Chain A
Amino acid sequence: MKTLDIPLFECETGNYHTFCPISCVAWLYQKIEDSFFLVVGTKTCGYFLQNAPGVMIFAEPRYAMAELEEGDISAQLNDQKELERICLRVKSDRNPSVIIWIGTCTTEIIKMDLEGIAPKLEKRIGIPIVVARANGLDYAFTQGEDTVLAAMTHRCPEINPRVLNQQKGDADKLVVVDISPSEKIFDKNIELNRSNLVLFGSLPSSVASQLNLELKRQSISVSGWLPSQKYNELPALGEGVYVCGVNPFLSRTATALMRRRKCQLVGAPFPIGPDGTRAWIEKICSVFNVKPNGLQKRENQIWKLLIDYLGIITGKSVFFMGDNLLEISIARFLIRCGMVVYEIGIPYMDRRYQAAELLLLQQTCKKMKKPMPRIVEKPDNYSQVQRMRELQPDLAITGMAHANPLEARDIDTKWSVEFTFAQIHGSVNARDALELVTRPLRRKDQSVSDCRSLSRQTLHV
């Protein structure tokens, strides 16, 4: 992977608002149907989970807290015994196929050896235990998923080299048998299937199958997803397997796949927006030596379907405060839609993993004749609000902590967390992504726009 030399990176104080990475359990427990997530932490973590991801707690979620008490902190209680007791209860109540322990700040500070205890307990209770350290000391929001998936790569079965060879053999046989020229394309398909492609990143199953279908159109079949719908359906990994990410925040997973499982990473832009989806497919095709078929036509069709939304946002400006690492991809898509991006705040920027995405961002800016936005890593929310007062963007994409106060100051906002929960991947969902972006702009009402600022803090911002 090559790093891109974009001189516009800045780094601020890291005083910004984002969700704690343990929030990933809120969507991962729904994705992996037979899992149970146990967050080993304090009341602070528990209160966050019950308040921020909201009402889901009432739907009998398959996640819970192992709440640490004073005796745990001062090591009066034995960690292993305590965890065993709790996991046995989880086993008898829910009988999951896997228990995922989420390590938190507290387990880091008191150096609770979760990785050491897990294999012992796994044997004793007979359920696999995966340990992910998704804590606020090291990570932000969506990076929580990254730590969980990185931990899961170790649980994926090793690919059987015979399978690869056999596929190859089958294909060879077919080539020999099928001699009619009309079947030639079919042969080629088989040949391509030899290459194993595993996609990583948690997406709703409908979106995953849409992406599968997009690749199928190019006669590339996806051999598996990380994570899978069920724990025991995890894809086989190993040498000769190609992997490609669907989300920009999965750099640890990518590293684990390359270094630990010897997979080959396809570094592509991410399939967000029709432009991103096309670039993503093209990159995968190029790796498998497939000539992409009808992609240009398909992209044009999608853009045509977006025309009403484009009318609303073209020429408008947007400011990303930054909290979920999707910012670069969404900004790139919005620039392609004709928006001006003033600033892309982002918690953490992996320039190698996001290299292709950054390149596409640069190309898009050039193509659309828009200035390259400044990319601010570890932003400082207070300074950002000051900058926003000067720039007066048409739209701020921000966390809930700032959304209402900004609205009261007459800056339209979109709640950034929605982008993590909504379906925005693939060409089909480009409309949904724009639906989110345009919603605050569409609801502009004449009657209240007269009283511009509705804030009460007049002296200070």
Chain B
Amino acid sequence: MKLAYWMYAGPAHIGTLRVASSFKNVHAIMHAPLGDDYFNVMRSTPERERDFTPVTASVVDRHVLARGSQEKVINNISRKDEEQHPDLIVLTPTCTSSILQEDLQNFVDRASLSSESDVILADVNYYRVNELQAADRTLEQIIRFYLDRARRRSILDRSVTNIPSANIIGIFTLGFHNQHDCRELKRLLGELGIAVNQVIPEGGYLKSLKDLPRAWFNIVPYREVGLMTATFLEKEYGMPYISITPMGLSNTANFITQIGKLVNVWAYALSEQRLNYKLYVDNQTKFVSQAAWFSKSIDCQNLAGKEAAIFGDATHAASMTKILVKEMGIRVSCSGTYCKHDAEWFNEQVQGLCGEIIVTEDHTEVGDTIARIEPSAIFGTQMERHIGKRIDIPCGVISSPVHIQNSPLGYRPFLGYEGTNQIADLIYNSFQLGMEDHSLDVFGGHDTKGISTKSLSADISEIKWTPEAESEPNRIPGFVRGKIKKNTEVFAKQNNIQEITIDAMYAAKEKSSP
């Protein structure tokens, strides 16, 4: 048993439902007790979905507990089949059904005899995988199911498209800014002269999946979902894939270089021509994206050397770390992710870029780390935003789990060249603005609130401050105030000083500055 207040990634079935309901005309039936269908609420509220979420429950109640589901699941499947004629029904196990150990595969086999729709059982182990891993697995399972069948029926078209084309894999519902990212990716590919063969799962039709292998290569923008599908397609159909996230200028440039390599393999074979994207990247970096110029501009000087803490899913946290360190000159004192299953990759990515790396699912550990480091800004999830609020440090949200305010109506991609602009804005707005910073420095601040003790844990210091010394920190810029106060107290403790005077304060400052 684990004492838990909050979790970053949801349970496995949520991942399955997110993938299933992203496809067009796919219905998911959960084998679950009453009230477990809150996925419908999550999709209807933060995503502001206009249509009924294609998820229903085959309710597990006392009768099911006593006698087993018997015909209930099968009846529910055939009923959905008649009512809504979905192309596919995904029977989704939950924590409850995995303990009951009913033979769901048997239900699926029996139901598929009578129903027009295809029926499959989502193959995820509730207690071993989380939401993201389950989504990854379910996507691969569906793709595999339809491609294998197409191959058996020999309707698979193995010829590649005439012009270079790509599949985008892993855009789906409730994903962080996924819709905007998808639009930006399409635009980027368009400018490179590459057609988008298919986007899956979001808005994809199952009957067109058989044309998936016609693309020249696959793009997996997010590490969390799509890699399994991409490796499957590589192994079975020899399709190469790119798993670089085009987030930030250098990553985007790498991404395009990779595309160039893959395209040229075929392009040369087909027409003995080579495409060169170098000029395009140069032009975009210098003029279309404002981020490069922005980080060079005088305004950004104030950001140099400031500290930040980063936490989120592996994709976003790693990319943000690179952007802050390499492109903005900001010190990342701590970078972390809750994707424990992907810790190795994450470590590799941010190694050498940040002070410390944390891989944890425990939000209090994240909170305590941030409180200890006291960065000038945090980039994290909604949870870190709330941690920031409590200890008075600004936070930019860069990753799920999110809130309705992270499903903006306006165009806010994180990927591609427009994404670099959005990220630059986000970073800049999260730090204290330049001149404001100076004014605080010079005039001792315009806030009359007392000094905030920036500590999450209830660590009440017993050290007294003389009134003069107490008011002294008010003249220190807000963002370092807590830190100076703490340093002074540590110094006082070390030197057995009972009461902190102004002298003691400056003595402490002398000691701590190199």
Measured CB to CB, the residues of A under 8 A from B are: 14-15, 17-23, 40, 42-44, 46-48, 50-52, 55, 57-58, 61, 64-70, 72-73, 77, 82-83, 85-86, 89-90, 105-106, 108-110, 135-141, 382, 385, 399-405, 408, 454-457, 460-461
Contacts known (A73-B99, A89-B3, A405-B52); A47 close to B10, Cβ less than 8 A: yes
- From B386, which residue of chain A is reached at the shortest CB distance? A58
Contact across chains for B94 and A52 when beta carbons are under 8 A apart = no
Q: How far is the CA of A70 from the CA of B48 in the complex (A)?
A: 35
Q: Please name the residue on chain B nearest to A39 by beta carbon.
A: B4
Give the residue name and chain of the A residue nearest to B98 (CB). Answer: A73
Among B11, B59, B96, the residue within 8 A (CB) of A47 is: B11
Question: Which of the residues B4, B44, B50, B94 comes within 8 Å of A67, measured between beta carbons?
Answer: B4
Of chain B, the residue at the smallest CB distance from A347 is: B34
Which residue of A43, A52, A90 is within 8 Å of B3 (Cβ)?
A90
Q: Across the interface, which residues of A come within 8 angstroms of B42, CB to CB?
A: 51
Q: In the complex, are the beta carbons of A43 and B10 less than 8 A apart?
A: yes
Check A456–B44 contact: CB distance below 8 A. no
* Shortest Cβ-Cβ A-B pairs, 7 listed: A20-B35, A136-B33, A401-B40, A408-B50, A43-B11, A82-B1, A42-B95
CA distance A86 to B13 in the complex (A): 27
Given contacts A52-B41, A106-B96, A136-B34, contact A455 B50 (CB under 8 A): yes
Additional pairs, 6, CB under 8 Å, beyond known A51-B42, A66-B1, A68-B1: A17-B40, A20-B38, A21-B35, A110-B99, A454-B50, A455-B50
Q: Which residues of A contact B59 (CB under 8 A)?
A: 14-15
A73 to B95, CA, bound (A): 10
With the chains together, A52 CA to B46 CA distance in Å?
A: 11
Q: B33 and A399: CB pair below 8 A?
A: no
Chain A to chain B contacts (Cβ below 8 Å), 14 pairs = A20-B34, A21-B35, A22-B35, A43-B95, A44-B32, A55-B403, A69-B1, A70-B127, A136-B35, A382-B83, A401-B53, A404-B48, A405-B49, A457-B51
Given A20-B35, A64-B3, A109-B100: A460 and B84 interface contact (C-beta under 8 Å) = yes
Q: Is B57 an interface residue (CB 8 A)?
A: yes
In angstroms, Cα B4 to Cα A140, docked, is 24
Does any Cβ of A come within 8 Å of B152's Cβ?
A: no
Cα distance A146–B455 in the bound complex, in angstroms: 39
Chain A residues with CB under 8 A of B99: 73, 106, 109-110
From A15, A401, A408, residue with most partner B Cβ within 10 Å: A401
B contact residues around A77 at 8 Å (CB):
1
Q: How far is the CA of A57 from the CA of B38 in the complex (A)?
A: 17
CA distance A461 to B80 in the complex (A): 12
Task: Check: B470 CB closer than 8 A to any chain A CB.
Answer: no
Q: Are B35 and A47 in contact (CB under 8 A)?
A: no
Task: With a 10 A CB-CB cut-off, give which of B2, B34, B94 has the most chain A CB atoms.
Answer: B34
Q: Are B35 and A48 in contact (CB under 8 A)?
A: yes
Chain A residues closer than 8 Å to B13, beta-carbon distance: 44
Question: In the complex, what residues of A have CB within 8 A of residue B38's CB?
Answer: 19-20, 48, 51-52, 401
Is B51 in contact with A408, judged by CB distance below 8 angstroms?
yes
CA distance A456 to B50 in the complex (A): 7
B133 on the interface (CB 8 Å rule)?
no
Measured in the bound complex, the distance between the Cα atoms of B38 and A196 in whole Å is: 42
Q: Which of B60-68, B107-115, B163-171 contacts A (4 or more CB under 8 A)?
A: B60-68
CA distance A382 to B40 in the complex (A): 14
User: CB-defined interface of B73-106 with A at 8 Å, one 1/0 digit per residue?
Assistant: 0001000000111000000001110011000000
Q: For A65, what are the chain B residues with a Cβ–Cβ distance below 8 Å?
A: 2-5
Which A residue's beta carbon lies closest to that of B385?
A: A58
User: Across the two chains, which residue of chain A brings its CB closest to B14?
Assistant: A47
Expressed in whole angstroms, the Cα–Cα distance for A110 and B95 within the complex equals 12
* Cβ–Cβ contact A403 & B127, under 8 A: no
- Please judge, given known A-B contacts A73-B99, A385-B52, A456-B51, whether A48 and B2 are in contact too, CB under 8 Å: no
Q: Is the CB of B36 within 8 A of A44?
A: yes
| Residue among A44, A67, A73, A77 with max Cβ neighbours from chain B (10 Å) | A44
For the complex formed, measure the closest distance between the CB of B47 and the CB atoms of chain A, giving whole angstroms.
Answer: 9
Chain A residues with CB below 8 A from B6, complex form = 50, 57
Query: Are A402 and B52 interface neighbours, CB within 8 A?
Result: yes
8 Å CB interface, B323-358 against A: none
Asked if A86 meets B85 with Cβ closer than 8 Å, knowing A17-B37, A137-B62, the reply is no
Of all chain B residues, which has the CB nearest A61? B5
User: Cβ of B10 and Cβ of A57 under 8 Å apart?
Assistant: no
**B283: interface (CB < 8 Å):** no
Closest beta carbon of chain B to A411's beta carbon, Å: 12
In the complex, A64 Cα to B65 Cα: how many Å?
27
| CB–CB A105/B60 < 8 A | yes
The yes or no answer to B7 lying at the interface (CB within 8 A) is: yes
Question: Is there an interface contact between B44 and A404, defined as CB atoms closer than 8 Å?
Answer: yes
Q: Are A72 and B1 in contact, CB atoms less than 8 angstroms apart?
A: yes
Do A137 and B60 touch across chains, with their CB atoms under 8 A apart? yes
Question: Contact partner of B51 among A23, A70, A405, CB < 8 A?
Answer: A405
Q: How far is the CA of A282 from the CA of B65 in the complex (A)?
A: 44
Is B235 engaged at the interface, CB distance under 8 Å to the other chain?
Answer: no
Task: Determine how close the nearest CB of chain A comes to the CB of B29; give it in whole angstroms.
Answer: 10
Tell yes or no: B56 within 8 A of A by CB. yes
Which of chain B's residues have a CB closer than 8 A to the CB of A18? 34-35
Give the contacting residue for B52; candidates A58, A73, A106, A461; CB below 8 A: A461
User: A44 near B52 (CB under 8 angstroms)?
Assistant: no
Residues on the A chain within 8 Å of B1, using CB: 40, 66-69, 72, 77, 82-83, 85-86
Min Cβ gap A145→B in Å is 14
In the complex, which residues of chain B have a beta carbon less than 8 angstroms from the beta carbon of A382? 56, 83
> Whole-angstrom distance between the alpha carbons of A64 and B36 in the complex?
18
Residue of A nearest to B94 (CB): A44
* Cβ–Cβ < 8 Å partners of B130 in chain A: 43
Interface status of B128 (Cβ within 8 A of chain A)? yes
- Residue on A nearest B27 in the bound complex, by CB: A460
Q: How far is the CB of A104 from chain B (nearest CB, A)?
A: 9
C-alpha spacing A252/B42, complex, angstroms: 31
Contact call B100/A47, Cβ cutoff below 8 A: no
Which residues of chain B are within 8 angstroms of A67 by Cβ–Cβ distance?
A: 1-4
What are the residues of chain A within 8 A of B62 when measuring CB–CB? 137-138
Give complex CA distance A338, B51 in Å: 32
A136 in contact with B36 (CB, 8 Å): yes
B273 near A: Cβ within 8 Å? no
For the complex, is B45 an interface residue (Cβ under 8 Å from A)? yes
Docked CA distance A67–B53 (Å): 28
Chain A residues with Cβ below 8 Å from B128 are 70
Measured CB to CB, the nearest residue on chain A to B80 is A382
Q: A47-B11, A65-B3, A67-B2 are in contact. Are A401 and B37 (CB under 8 A)?
A: yes
Contacting pair A15 B2 (CB below 8 A): no
In the complex, residue of chain A having the shortest beta-carbon distance to the beta carbon of B10: A47
Bound-complex Cα distance A105 to B403 (A): 28
| Distance of A278 from chain B, by nearest CB (Å) | 35
Kindly list chain B residues whose C-beta atoms are within 8 Å of the C-beta of A66: 1-3
CA distance in complex: A454, B10 (Å): 31
Q: Complex Cα distance A451/B465, Å?
A: 66
How far is it, in angstroms, between the C-alpha of A410 and the C-alpha of B242 when the chains are bound? 44
Q: How far is the CA of A22 from the CA of B38 in the complex (A)?
A: 13
| Residue in B33, B45, B95, B383 whose beta carbon sits within 8 Å of that of A404 in the complex | B45
